[in-house]
Amino acid sequence: MLALFRRDILLAVRSGGGFGLALAFFLILVMLVPFGVGPDRAVLARIAPGILWIGALLACLLSLDRVFQLDAEDGTLEALATSPVPLTGLVSAKAAAHWITTGLPLTLASAPLGYLLGLPTSGYLWLVASLGTGTVALSFIGTFGAAITVGIKRGGLLLSLLVLPLYIPTLILGAQVVTRAVSGQSPIASLALLSGLTLLTLALIPAAAAMALRANMR
Amino acid sequence: MMTVTDLDCLRGQKRVLSGVSFSLAAGDCLILRGPNGAGKTTLLRTLAGLSPAPRGTVSATPDDLVYTGHLDAVKPQLTVTENLTFWQGIYQNAPADTLARFDLHELAERPAATLSAGQKRRLGLARLHVSGRRIWLLDEPTTALDADHVARFTAILTDHCSSGGIAIVSTHLDLDLSRAQTLNVADFAAPNGNGSSTSDDPFLQGSY
Per DSSP, the three-state class of B70 is coil
DSSP run (H or E) holding A146: helix A124-148
* Chain B neighbors of A73, CB-CB under 8 A: 71
Residue A139 φ then ψ, to 5° = -65, -40
In chain B, count of helices (H) and strands (E)?
5, 8
Q: Quote the domain boundaries for residue B56.
A: 2-188
Query: Does some domain include residue B15?
Result: yes
Among B62, B73, B92, the residue with its CB nearest the CB of A74 is: B73
Count CB-CB contacts under 10 A for residue B76. 16
**Distance, in angstroms, between A211 CA and closest chain B CA?**
7
Residue B51 lies inside a defined structural domain of this protein: yes
Integer Cα distance of A205 and A4 in angstroms:
18
Mean pLDDT (chain B, rounded): 87
Residue A79 — pLDDT band, cuts 50, 70, 90?
very high
> Does the residue B61 lie in any domain?
yes
Q: Tell me which chain A residues have a C-beta less than 8 angstroms from the C-beta of B63.
A: 84
- Domain assignment present for residue B49? The answer is yes
Cα Rg, chain B, nearest whole Å: 17
Give the ipTM: 0.87
Q: Which of A74, A80, A85 sits opposite B71 (nearest CB)?
A: A74
B199 found inside a domain = no
Contact B33, B184 (CB under 8 A): yes
Strand B180-184 to strand B29-33: parallel, antiparallel, or no bridges (unpaired)? Answer: parallel
Residue A89: the pLDDT is: 95
The 10s digit of each residue's pLDDT in A171-187 is: 999 999 999 999 999 99
Is the CB of residue A183 less than 8 Å away from at least one CB of chain B? no
| Residue B208 is assigned to a structural domain of this protein | no
Its pTM stands at 0.89
The answer as to whether B90 is a domain residue is yes
Judged by phi (left if over 0) then psi (alpha if -120 to 50, else beta), residue B85 lies in: alpha
Number of domains in chain B: 1
Q: What CA–CA distances, in Å, run from A82 to A21, A89, B10, B137?
A: 32, 13, 18, 11
Q: Which amino acid is at A14?
A: R
Question: Does the distance separating the beta carbons of A78 and B69 come in below 8 Å?
Answer: yes
Backbone angles phi, psi at B108, to 5 degrees: -50, -40
Contacts of B71 in chain A (CB under 8 A): 73-75, 78
Of B49, B52, B202, the CB nearest to A82: B49
Residue contact B77–A16, C-beta within 8 A: yes
Residue A155: per-residue pLDDT: 82
- Flag whether B18 is in a domain: yes
pLDDT tens column, A7-62: 998 888 887 767 888 899 999 999 999 999 998 989 999 999 999 999 999 999 98
CB-CB contact of B77 with B113 (8 Å): yes
Domain with residue B178: its CATH number is 3.40.50.300
Of B51, B92, B127, the CB nearest to A79: B127
Among A198-212, B19-33, B85-99, top mean pLDDT goes to: A198-212
Chain B partners of A76 at a C-beta cutoff of 8 Å?
Answer: 73, 75
Contact A82 B50 (CB under 8 A): yes
Q: Is A86 on the interface with B (CB under 8 A)?
A: no
Q: Which of A10, A85, A211 sits opposite B203 (nearest CB)?
A: A211
Instruction: Summarize pLDDT for A97-149 with one digit per residue, the tens.
Output: 999 999 999 999 999 999 999 999 999 999 999 999 999 999 999 999 999 99
Query: Is residue A74 within 8 angstroms of chain B, CB to CB?
Result: yes
Query: Which chain A residue is nearest to residue B201, measuring alpha carbons?
Result: A215
Q: How far apart are the first and last CA of chain A?
A: 23
